[in-house]
Amino acid sequence: RTSMRDRTSKELAGYGQELTKQQAHVEKLIANGVDIHDVNKQKEVLGETEIMIPDCKKRLHAAYHDL
């Protein structure tokens, strides 16, 4: 159970870092005037990352309660 908690905690941290990088990437694309389709695709990737964070938090919370 502890390993599950540790793994989920690392996963959550990774998604947080990825979210920050992806947000900066999207802003850079917009600032550089990149094609809107490319920007939209990157926003889609950003959205997928945002979806994963609450799921990780829920699993981490459950892992702590299982200890």
| pLDDT in the model for residue 55 | 95
**Where do the structural domains in the chain lie, given as residue ranges?**
2-66
| pLDDT in the model for residue 15 | 96
Question: What is the CA angle 5-55-41, rounded to 5?
Answer: 130
Q: Which two tokens stand for residue 54?
A: 């609450």
2-66 domain in CATH 1.20.58.90? Answer: yes
25-56 pLDDT per residue, tens: 999 999 999 999 999 999 999 999 999 999 99
pTM for the full predicted model: 0.82
